[in-house]
Amino acid sequence: MEVVILPGTKQIGKLAADAIESLLRGKPDAVLGLATGSSPLPIYDELAARHESDGLDFSQAHAFALDEYVGLPPGHPESYREVIRREFTSRVNILPENVHSPDGAAADLPAACQSYEDLIQALGGVDLQILGVGTDGHIGFNEPGSSFASRTRIKSLIEQTRRDNARFFNSMAEVPHHVVTQGLGTILEARHVLLVATGAQKAQAVRDFVEGPVAAICAASVLQFHPHATVLLDEAAASSLKLADFYRHTYDNKPPWQGL
Ligand SMILES: N[C@@H]1[C@@H](O)[C@H](O)[C@@H](COP(=O)(O)O)O[C@@H]1O
């Protein structure tokens, strides 16, 4: 796991976009894994700016969203399918039919989850998965206790997550209790995972998953097993890390030709 501590969200967006740009230049039909939440927004802004100014091309790329609420009507502004479209994919030239989301409105949810897994496989797997992290250590919507072998499935949200996400709805009562999410086993198969965390409210979760034991109580800790995991943090999110100076030293002394 490579931990990179940066001054702020602008720098995080640029560094992550560098990794995505270099992937797309080498493999124009790359498969991207997209996350919702506020953490990835600087990445999406930077990618949209590079598309606009330098013609960064997404025309052959595919994208898979991590998760979706169950029970929101199709087109609901806070459904993750809509959020991903609004915040990112509508701002670049990726084909709408190449952007995939779990179907939280399917009549047969388990079958829809299996089809989603099958489609990820059929397209050769995810090359680069963007992740945020919940204050309880969740990635996607894999809440504490999620199996490290889990695949796309239905999950219940814990109250802390519903409270954290209530800011996107008119009231807590509107926040769904159920979701569909890629599993930890699914996420682990992405060839590169790039997790972004910013702000002091993430400091404890970051400390737990980066330096704590690998344990299902903190789902993101499973990334310690991933052969290519990058964690981009601002100073506030990094503030509880024991080895922060070591991570800074390691990154500052990295050969300039070596990307993330
Ligand atoms: N399902 C999403 C996660 O994928 C995201 O990482 C998390 C953190 O969101 P934020 O980045 O806004 O803190 O929120 C939601 O629960």
CA angle 15, 124, 149 (to 5 degrees): 85
Is 224 contained in some domain?
Answer: yes
Q: How many other C-beta atoms can be found within 10 angstroms of the C-beta atom of residue 166? A: 14
Q: Is residue 150 part of a domain?
A: yes
Distance between Cα 257 and ligand 1 center (Å): 32
Is 106 a member of any domain? yes
* Structural domain count of the chain: 1
**127 is an active site residue:** no
Known catalytic residue at 234 = no
Nearest-atom index, ligand 1, CA of 157: 16
What gap in Å lies between CA 91 and CA 105, rounded to an integer? 25
**Counting atoms of ligand 1 from 1, which one is nearest the CA of 197?**
11
Ligand 1 centre and the CA of 87: distance in Å?
Answer: 14
Terminal CA-CA length for the chain: 11
The pLDDT of residue 182 is: 98
17 Cβ neighbours under 8 A, 6+ residues apart = 43, 46, 47, 50
Q: How far is the CA of 162 from the centre of ligand 1 (A)?
A: 11
Cβ-proximal residues to 220 (8 Å cutoff; 6+ apart), any chain: 131, 133, 137, 138, 139, 195, 205, 208, 209
- ipTM associated with this complex: 0.96
Find the mean pLDDT for residues 89-94: 98
pLDDT in tens, 123-160: 999 999 999 999 999 999 999 999 999 999 999 999 99
CATH number at residue 231: 3.40.50.1360
Q: What pLDDT is recorded for position 74?
A: 84
* Cα separation, 127 vs 10, whole angstroms: 23
Indicate if ligand 1 lies below 6 Å from the C-beta of 36: yes
Selecting among 68, 127, 143, 234, the annotated active-site residue is: 143
Is residue 56 a part of any domain in this protein? yes
Q: Which of 21, 46, 62, 67 is catalytic?
A: 67
Ligand 1 centroid, distance to 200 Cα (angstroms): 15
- Band of residue 258 on the pLDDT scale cut at 50, 70, 90: confident
Q: What SS3 state is found at 193?
A: strand
* Catalytic residue check, 252: no
Task: Give residue 53's pLDDT.
Answer: 98
Closest CA to 195 of 23, 8, 35: 35
Question: Does residue 136 carry a catalytic annotation?
Answer: yes
The reply to whether 128 falls in a domain is: yes
Q: What is the pLDDT of residue 47?
A: 98
The 67-69 sheet, strands edge to edge: 67-69, 178-181, 153-156
The answer on pLDDT for 164 being more than 90 is yes
Reported as a pLDDT band with limits 50, 70 and 90, residue 257 is confident
The whole-model pTM stands at 0.97
CA of 208 to the centre of ligand 1 (A): 17
Please give the mean pLDDT across all residues of the chain. 97
Residue 256 has pLDDT above 90, yes or no: no
What pLDDT band is residue 103 in, cutting at 50, 70 and 90?
very high
Closest ligand 1 atom number to CA of residue 38: 12
**Residue 50 within a domain:** yes
Ligand 1 atom closest to Cα of 66? 4
Q: Which domain holds residue 207?
A: 2-252
Whether residue 182 contacts residue 67, with contact meaning beta carbons closer than 8 Å, is answered with yes
By percentage, how much of the chain surpasses pLDDT 90? 97
Which pair of structure tokens corresponds to residue 21?
Answer: 């740009």
φ/ψ bin of 143: left (φ > 0), alpha (ψ from -120 to 50), beta (otherwise): beta
- Among the residue ranges 72-76, 88-92, 135-139, the one predicted with the least confidence is 72-76
Run of H or E including 247: helix 244-252
Does ligand 1 have an atom closer than 6 angstroms to the CB of 39? yes
Instruction: Tell me the pLDDT tens digit for each residue of 196-246.
Output: 999 999 999 999 999 999 999 999 999 999 999 999 999 999 999 999 999
For ligand 1, whether the C-beta of 33 sits within 6 Å is no
Residue 259 maps to a domain: no
Of all protein residues, the one whose alpha carbon is nearest to atom 9 of ligand 1 is 37
